Amino acid sequence: MQEMIEKEILIRYGELTLKGENKKDFIKQLRKNLELYINKNEIKMEYDRAFCKYSDSNLESLKYIFGISSYSVVYKSSINLADIELVVNQIASENEFDTFAINARRHNKNYKMTSAQLNMHFGHYILSNFKNKSVNLTNPSLIFYIEIRDKFSYIFTQYIEGMGGMPTSSSGETLHLISGGIDSPVAANLLQKRGLHISFLNFITPPHTDKKTTDKINDIISLLTRYQGSATLFQVNYTKIMNYIGLVSNQKYKICLMRRSFYRIAQKIANKYNIKAISNGENLAQVASQTLESIYTISEVCNLPILRPLLSFDKNETIAIAKRIKTMDISILKACETCELFAPKFPITKPNRETAKALEDELVDLFKLEDEIIDNIDIIKFNL
């Protein structure tokens, strides 16, 4: 008979199981991500699931790891019926319940009892060992899940929903334009969820923006770093260029020209660091500047793919995520933002490429200033 009943965390991969060829790589990346938080000797990866040592901190860390469909705190036992009974007994003693169900699964097809027989056996076991309990298969207050594998069995009462998605950093890297607003942090998190590692790009314009602005950015990136372990922020002092663009003859185009300039700079940085995509928190038609014409005119300057995970989101949907990942509280703090300061009263909502180009021709030093800025970027590293 076993001496003590061991608890573990059982982690299920979910969507990963669909990915035939790449599966090994995904599992490898998931292990790396787990190791950011959990001691590597406490993790065991299997083909279709993983186990790690049970602890409150290990359990908590799973809230930041994408690529997990669900997890459970499980009791591990031998496959010996008497040993499983001990576990079932312990769980029944520890929990308050009046109705219950047994959900047994025999993965080990050579096991001497079928799943149905196991259900019957443990149903009777509880009924005869505990008073005032009854079976309810449709809406029980406690479910005993019993999984019989080749060497061990796992008994648990709860499926906890995981973060879903793919392991962060399994799909490559993007250079993400981050502001202190609500949208771009959420967009970053959604891209992390699809397996992208995020590097951040932020434009500041001191003295118009100040420490409050940069504190917000730092706090937001610190939160997002939890999902990927480490991050790089490229922070660009954009004051000189902003002032220069401010001299343009058609003031309505200021924001459009600034955005084009942002993406030229973003592309240069991405190319320098071998990053294959640029991303942002843009949404279609949410604010005046986010029209299709605007996207068309701005993306002309950049030949890397521009990912816009929030394009079709309603603001409410974005806010719900911002609250869940806790960036909301930071985003709503008052601080001066580069774009807000610079915006004319009536920015052009339907800019066109020809006019934008003509205005850039007016600003003869623009590209030179952009080239100069590349060698003058603050590179800030974030770690857990």
Of the candidates 234, 261, 270, which has an alpha carbon nearest to the alpha carbon of residue 370?
Answer: 261
Does residue 338 contact residue 302 with C-beta atoms inside 8 Å?
no
From the list Mg ion, ligand ATP, none, pick the one residue 258 interacts with, judged by a Cβ distance below 5 to 8 Å according to partner type.
none
Binding track, positions 155-184, relative to Mg ion; x by CB under 5 A: ------------------------x-x---
Cβ-based nearer residue to ligand ATP, 122 or 313: 313
- CA dist 31 and 11 (Å) reads 11
Helix axes 366-374, 254-272, angle to 10 degrees: 40
308-to-183, 193, 284, 313 alpha-carbon distances in Å:
10, 14, 9, 10
Least distance from C-beta 183 to Mg ion, angstroms?
A: 7
Show contacts with ligand ATP in window 218-247 (CB under 6 A). Answer: none
Cβ-based nearer residue to Mg ion, 72 or 279: 279
Least distance from C-beta 318 to ligand ATP, angstroms?
A: 8
Tell me whether residue 177 is annotated as binding: yes
Taking CB atoms, the residue at the shortest distance from ligand ATP is: 181
In the block, tokens 């100040």 appear at 210
Cβ-based nearer residue to Mg ion, 126 or 217: 217
Cβ-based nearer residue to Mg ion, 33 or 280: 280
Q: How big is the CA angle at 258 (ends 255 and 259), to the nearest 5 degrees?
A: 85
- CA dist 218 and 213 (Å) reads 9
- CA dist 279 and 305 (Å) reads 8
Least distance from C-beta 375 to ligand ATP, angstroms?
A: 19
Instruction: Name the β-bridge partners of 330.
Output: none
Tell me whether residue 51 is annotated as binding: no
- By the rule CB under 5 A, 199 interacts with Mg ion: no
- By the rule CB under 6 A, 202 interacts with ligand ATP: yes
Show contacts with ligand ATP in window 293-322 (CB under 6 A). Answer: none
- By the rule CB under 6 A, 351 interacts with ligand ATP: no
Q: Which residue type, as a one-letter code, is found at position 354?
A: E
Show contacts with ligand ATP in window 177-196 (CB under 6 A). Answer: 177-179, 181-184
Least distance from C-beta 286 to ligand ATP, angstroms?
A: 6
Does residue 296 contact residue 354 with C-beta atoms inside 8 Å?
no
Q: How big is the CA angle at 165 (ends 23 and 313), to the nearest 5 degrees?
A: 145
Tell me whether residue 14 is annotated as binding: no
Tell me whether residue 202 is annotated as binding: yes
Please work out the total of residues on this chain that contact Mg ion, with binding judged by CB under 5 A.
2
The SS3 call for residue 175 is strand
Q: What does the DSSP 8-state code read for residue 159? A: P
Judging by DSSP bridges, how do beta strands 43-45 and 6-12 pair with one another?
unpaired
Torsions phi, psi for 220 (to 5 deg): -65, -45
Among 67, 140, 281, 351, interactor with ligand ATP by CB under 6 A: 281
Judging by DSSP bridges, how do beta strands 306-307 and 278-279 pair with one another?
parallel
From the list Mg ion, ligand ATP, none, pick the one residue 148 interacts with, judged by a Cβ distance below 5 to 8 Å according to partner type.
none
- CA dist 136 and 216 (Å) reads 51
Q: How big is the CA angle at 144 (ends 142 and 149), to the nearest 5 degrees?
A: 160
Least distance from C-beta 185 to Mg ion, angstroms?
A: 11
Show contacts with ligand ATP in window 104-163 (CB under 6 A). Answer: none
Tell me whether residue 290 is annotated as binding: yes
Q: Which helix (H) or strand (E) holds 312?
A: none
Cβ-based nearer residue to Mg ion, 186 or 223: 186
Show contacts with ligand ATP in window 161-180 (CB under 6 A). Answer: 177-179
Cβ-based nearer residue to ligand ATP, 28 or 350: 350
Interface residues with ligand ATP (CB under 6 A)? 177-179, 181-184, 201-203, 280-282, 286-287, 289, 338-339
Contact residues for Mg ion (CB under 5 A)? 179, 181
Binding-site residue positions? 177-178, 202-203, 259, 281, 290
Binding site per annotation, positions for ATP: 177-178, 202-203, 259, 281, 290
